[in-house]
């Protein structure tokens, strides 16, 4: 029963690649945004916060369609990127990574933001009196103390990215070997007459990946508390 | 050495203080709420005066008329807080080394040994702050501030969070520091006995105003 076929492996590996790239690219932006939301008050902050969370509540097909309009070959941004930088998103695995990144971004940012908010700002003041310029304070105190939260955010974002379906299939379709992730492979398999066993295997793979990610995120969160208490 | 002439409005509370001190240890004395911490935070550069000047060691670090405000990290001061504020993700040795790294100072093993011995913290170097007692934490905080080679050491009730026994444990170190470390200090406290032992000059604060200034005699 548990003989994973080459086609299934292709989907699993593609999912992993898409989710890893989406998470790695999103992380620096996520840290910057988390810091901004945790520490700064500025005009439009609640709007920005809402925009980040929007993909969480919008129908995924709407997000996918908006991505297609923006990043498609004829889209405003997509056209520019394709003509000037040679980066194409539409119907490519890169587009799947973009869709997954957008869909998982709010989950990725949230633990990062919480862990930055939990840091005692008095520690940053102490660093300042010891001669640390603001960016050094960030890299030697804020970021190390927030690290477990940053990792937890990455794990959650990754888990969400690996299971993303609606926006991805709308934006980049369901092309085996190029854009067919685990989710879209399962979708195709349950519509074919003899696909049940294969679909079942992929379902188990997704459950294992998701559970693993949740356990890892929990573990990082516990580490964070220990770190802040100096043990 | 230190010249302060500042005004600051903090909600309902207004602080207006002017003094200058050449002493080795300037004691800022007053009840809680007198404005001691706000004043020392302004000297540190953590709080910006609404109006006035602060001069440390001949360098003007604040002058509102000339729009000068040197940020805390460029003031070359050391600050010992009441709550130690050691970095929980670093061990004691790394905490001690932090100021040297941030100021890009060359290693100075002789000074390191001197400070570690003066404060008796040699046995703690591998520990994390979470595994230290209150008194040990405060000694490490003192060492950390000293090793950044400050030109002025600010201490905000460094014994305030400790019980009587711990206070008596730390006080001799502070006296040694005053006599051997050769760094002028500003010492905030509401404890007359503490200041009598340590201070060479007293600035007395009441409700945001300097009410008297002079030798330790003014404490009576």
pLDDT digit string, tens, across residues A195-213: 888 999 999 999 998 898 8
A227: nearest CA partner in chain B = B89
Residue A116 has pLDDT above 90, yes or no: yes
- B213 interfacial to chain A (CB closer than 8 Å): no
- pLDDT for B121-164, tens place per residue? 999 999 999 999 988 999 999 999 999 999 999 999 998 878 88
- pLDDT for B46-92, tens place per residue? 999 999 999 999 999 999 999 999 999 999 999 999 999 999 999 99
Contact check, Cβ <8 Å, A131/B89: no
Nearest to B150 by CA among B188, B108, B185: B185
In angstroms, the Cα distances linking B82 to A171, A181, B85, B164 are 57, 56, 8, 15
Nearest to A199 by CA among A191, A213, A16: A191
3-state secondary structure A55-97: HHHCCHHHHHHHHHHHHCCCCHHHHHHHHHCCCCCCCCHHHHH
| Model confidence, pTM | 0.87
- B137 interfacial to chain A (CB closer than 8 Å): no
Interface probe with A: pick from B38, B41, B73, most Cβ of A within 10 Å = B73
| B81: chain A residues, CB-CB within 8 Å | 122, 126
Half-sphere exposure of B38 (CA within 13 A, CB side): 24
**The predicted structure's pLDDT at residue A230:** 59
Reported as a pLDDT band with limits 50, 70 and 90, residue B99 is: very high
What mean pLDDT comes out for the span B190-209? 91
Contact A219, A156 (CB under 8 A): no
**The predicted structure's pLDDT at residue A231:** 56
Q: Is the dihedral of CA A30, A31, A34, A39 positive or negative?
A: negative
Q: Is A143 helix (H, G, I), strand (E, B) or coil?
A: helix
- pLDDT for B28-39, tens place per residue? 999 888 899 999
Contact check, Cβ <8 Å, A128/B71: yes
Contact A173, A91 (CB under 8 A): yes
- B126 interfacial to chain A (CB closer than 8 Å): no
Contact check, Cβ <8 Å, A129/B88: no
B78 membership: H or E segment, kind and range: strand B77-80
What mean pLDDT comes out for the span A123-142? 96
A126: nearest CA partner in chain B = B85
Q: Please list the helix, strand and coil fractions of chain A in percent, rounded to the nearest 5, in that order.
A: 80, 0, 20
ipTM over 0.95: no
Reported as a pLDDT band with limits 50, 70 and 90, residue A165 is: very high
Chain B 6-35, CB below 8 Å of chain A: which residues?
none
Higher pLDDT, A188 or B217: A188
Reported as a pLDDT band with limits 50, 70 and 90, residue A1 is: low
Contact check, Cβ <8 Å, A231/B102: no
């Amino acid at each position: 029963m548990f003989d994973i076929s080459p086609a299934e492996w292709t989907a699993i590996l593609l999912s992993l690649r898409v989710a890893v790239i989406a998470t790695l690219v999103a992380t620096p932006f996520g840290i910057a945004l988390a810091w901004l939301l945790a520490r700064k008050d500025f005009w439009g902050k609640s709007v920005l916060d809402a925009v980040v969370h929007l993909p969480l509540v919008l129908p995924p097909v709407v997000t996918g369609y908006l991505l297609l309009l923006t990043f498609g070959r004829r889209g405003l941004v997509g056209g520019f990127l394709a003509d000037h930088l040679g980066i194409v998103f539409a119907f490519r695995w890169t587009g799947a990574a973009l869709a997954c990144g957008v869909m998982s971004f709010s989950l990725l940012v949230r633990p990062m933001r919480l862990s930055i908010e939990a840091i005692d700002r008095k520690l940053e003041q102490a660093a300042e009196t010891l001669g640390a310029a603001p960016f050094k304070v960030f890299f030697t105190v804020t970021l190390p103390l927030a690290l477990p939260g940053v990792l937890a955010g990455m794990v959650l974002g990754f888990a969400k990215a690996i299971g993303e379906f609606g926006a991805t299939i709308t934006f980049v379709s369901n092309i085996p070997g190029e854009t067919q992730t685990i989710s879209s492979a399962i979708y195709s398999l349950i519509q074919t007459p003899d696909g049940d066993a294969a679909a079942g295997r992929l379902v188990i793979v997704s459950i294992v990946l998701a559970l693993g990610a949740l356990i890892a995120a929990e573990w990082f969160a516990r580490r964070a508390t220990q770190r802040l208490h100096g043990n | 050495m230190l010249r302060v002439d500042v005004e600051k409005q903090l909600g309902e509370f207004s602080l207006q203080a002017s003094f200058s001190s050449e002493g080795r240890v300037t004691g800022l004395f007053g009840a809680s709420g007198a404005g001691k911490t706000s004043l020392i935070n302004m000297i540190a550069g953590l709080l910006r005066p609404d109006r006035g000047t602060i001069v440390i060691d001949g360098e003007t670090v604040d002058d509102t008329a000339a729009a000068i405000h040197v940020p805390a990290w460029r003031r070359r001061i050391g600050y010992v807080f009441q709550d130690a504020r050691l970095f929980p993700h670093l061990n004691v040795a790394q905490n001690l080394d932090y100021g040297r790294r941030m100021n890009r100072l060359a290693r100075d093993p002789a000074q390191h040994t001197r400070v570690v011995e003066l404060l008796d913290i040699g046995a703690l170097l591998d520990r994390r702050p979470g595994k230290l007692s209150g008194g040990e934490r405060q000694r490490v905080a003192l060492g950390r501030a000293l090793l950044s080679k400050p030109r002025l050491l600010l201490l905000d009730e460094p014994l305030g969070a400790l019980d009587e026994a711990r206070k008596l444990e730390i006080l001799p170190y502070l006296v040694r520091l005053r006599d051997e470390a050769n760094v002028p200090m500003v010492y905030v406290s509401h404890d007359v006995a503490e200041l009598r032992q340590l201070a060479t000059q007293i600035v007395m604060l009441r409700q945001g105003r300097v009410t008297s200034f002079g030798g330790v005699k003014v404490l009576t």
